[in-house]
Amino acid sequence: MKKIKVAVVGCGFIANRKHLPMLTQHEDVEVVAFCDIIRERAETSAKKFGTPDAKIYLDYREVVERTDIDVVHVCTPNSSHAEITIASLESGKHVMCEKPMAKTAAEAKAMLDTAKATGKKLTIGYQNRFRSDSQFIKSLCENGDLGEIYLGKAFATRRRGVPTWGVFMDKELQGGGPLIDLGTHALDLTLWMMDNYEPVSALGSTYNKLAKIGSPANGMGPWDPEKYEVEDSAFGMVKFKNGASVILEASWAINMIVSNEAMTMLCGTKAGADMFPASGPIVRTADFQSAGGLHVRVNGENHGKLYIQNFAMGAQFIGGSGKEDFDGGALEMSTWLNAIRHDAELVVKPEQAYTVTRILEGIYTSAATGELYLF
């Protein structure tokens, strides 16, 4: 069996907590190149996840020059997603790029155009599509159980969950805060469920209130208000060509009891569905696990009576490890690798991810100008 040779560019948190553990679950995959601007990070990742002869690089250009690498995983700050992805595609490699697709819509479009021109596969790391609750609601949508879905709510709210490591609070490198970091997941889920990728307008508001105050209660440690350059919360409403609407909520810090991260609520003509509990948080540990499990609620009217059905999704497990895969990372990776092995259709298509980035940019622009953004 021919091995799939993978290079990882950016050896930080997301590479070590999702990409590398999931890649090394597969016997026909070898991670042969590790690239990071900090040598020690690349060396640490290579020692844990790489082949014995894995190479260390400080410049991604040296990685893409190698002709023996099949796939590149881009796990760098948002501002470099497009540059590294485009170079990798043009060198004949398939690419999985972490979310969001890019810092700007123009960059995302350039990535999409390059994938089409080269014929190489490009996908974006929206692993929440592969959770069991997401898969279940998607099946309801595809079966027509909800009817016409005319309203979606995308939730990405943390009460106090500002990421204080890396460059998350750096506007130049990331392009924004919780909207582009967390809101991108919730928006992707909602658009995917609704199968609606034709936005016509967006209205948005962003706030930087608690960011300048600081919080010793932040779950990831206190942040420096002087270095906090992005929003602490953002809200948007998007209208679509068919008349449907999506409301998006995203926060790292807000005085709100309810915390729902990467979740969605859908309202259709036959029924509605949401990820339960919509009135309380799903508690996640550092291993992306949930203490309460994954649940779905379906509501509607039947025989003249209103009903609510609760569905417990149970646990998904990674291979034979016994480790619960609540965020869908294992299924995401196996699906991606299968698309490469067998030239199968992608689940997360770059055209869809491009629309997510367009909408995020529209919400940010509306918030900055105070005007309705027209696509």
Specify if 56 maps to a domain. Answer: yes
What's the CATH number where 285 sits?
Answer: 3.30.360.10
Tokens of 355: 């629309």
Tokens for 329? Answer: 């990372």
Based on the fold, state whether residues 169 and 276 are members of the same structural domain: yes
Q: How far is CA 136 from CA 132, 160, 275, 314, in A?
A: 6, 29, 10, 12
Of 92, 109, 124, which residue constitutes the final position of a domain?
124
Asked if residue 133 and residue 100 are part of one domain, the reply reads: no
Q: Are strands 261-268 and 149-157 parallel, antiparallel or unpaired?
A: antiparallel
- Can you give the pLDDT at residue 326? 56
Same domain, 87 and 164: no
Q: Report the pLDDT value the prediction gives residue 295, as an integer from 0 to 100.
A: 86
Domain CATH number, residue 21: 3.40.50.720
Domain assignment of residue 150, given as a range: 128-327+350-374
> 341 lies in a domain?
no
Is residue 107 in some structural domain? yes
pLDDT at 54: 98
**Residue 336 counted as domain residue:** no
Residue 48 identity (one-letter amino acid): K
Residues 82 and 175 in one domain: no
Give 318's contacts (C-beta < 8 A, 6+ positions apart). Answer: 22, 25, 324, 325, 329, 330
Domain membership of residue 178 (yes or no) is: yes
> Do 107 and 207 reside in the same domain of the chain?
no
Are residues 62 and 44 both part of a single domain?
Answer: yes
DSSP assignment of 44-97, as one string? HHHHHHS-TT-EEES-HHHHHT-SS--EEEE-S-GGGHHHHHHHHHHTT-EEEE
Round to whole Å and give the CA distance between 39 and 56. Answer: 8
DSSP three-state, residue 371: coil
Mean pLDDT in consecutive groups of 10 residues from the start of the chain, 375 residues: 93 96 96 98 98 98 98 98 98 98 98 98 97 95 98 96 95 97 98 98 97 94 95 98 98 91 96 73 40 80 96 61 65 96 97 98 98 98
Domain shared by 70 and 195, yes or no? no
Nearest-Å Rg of the Cα atoms of the chain is 20
Q: Is residue 335 part of a domain?
A: no
Locate tokens 């990535």: which residue?
111
* 304-343: burial string, b at 16+ Cβ within 10 Å, e else: eeeeeeebebeebebeeeebbbbbbbbbbbbbbbebbeee
Q: How far apart are CA 139 and CA 163, in angstroms?
A: 33
Residue 365: how many other CB atoms lie within 10 Å:
15
Specify whether 61 is located in the same domain as 18.
yes
Is residue 311 one of the residues assigned to a domain?
A: yes
pLDDT at residue 97, as a whole number: 98
Residue 103 carries which side chain, given as an amino acid letter?
A: K
Domain end (from 124, 147, 174): 124
Residue 260 is predicted with a pLDDT of 86
Q: How many domains does the chain have?
A: 2
Domain boundary among 124, 139, 165: 124
> Which pLDDT score, from 0 to 100, does residue 23 have?
97
> Nearest Cα to 284, choosing from 106, 114, 161?
161
pLDDT on residue 199: 98
Model pTM? 0.94
**Is residue 94 a part of any domain in this protein?**
yes
Closest Cα partner for 100 from 178, 42, 180, 40?
Answer: 180
Please, are residues 332 and 127 in contact by the beta-carbon 8 Å criterion? yes
So what's the pLDDT on residue 314?
65
How far is it, in rounded angstroms, from Cα 358 to Cα 375? 8
- State the DSSP string of 245-284: EEEEEEESB-S-S---EEEEEEEESSEEEEEEPTTSPPPB
pLDDT score of 259: 81
Distance CA 322, CA 374 (A): 48
Residues 105 and 170 in one domain: no
In this structure, are 37 and 186 located in the same domain?
A: no
- The pLDDT score that the predictor gives to residue 258 is 80
Whether residue 207 sits in one domain with residue 251? yes
Residue 294 pLDDT: 77
What pLDDT was estimated at residue 42?
98
The verdict on 223 and 195 lying in the same domain is yes
Cα–Cα distance, 225 to 218 (Å, whole number): 13
Ordered DSSP codes for 138-190: HHHHHTTTT-SEEEEEEEEE-SB----STTTT-HHHHSSSHIIIIIHHHHHHH
**Cα separation values, 146 from 97, 142, 263, 279, Å:** 32, 9, 17, 21
Q: Contact 284/290 with Cβ under 8 angstroms?
A: yes
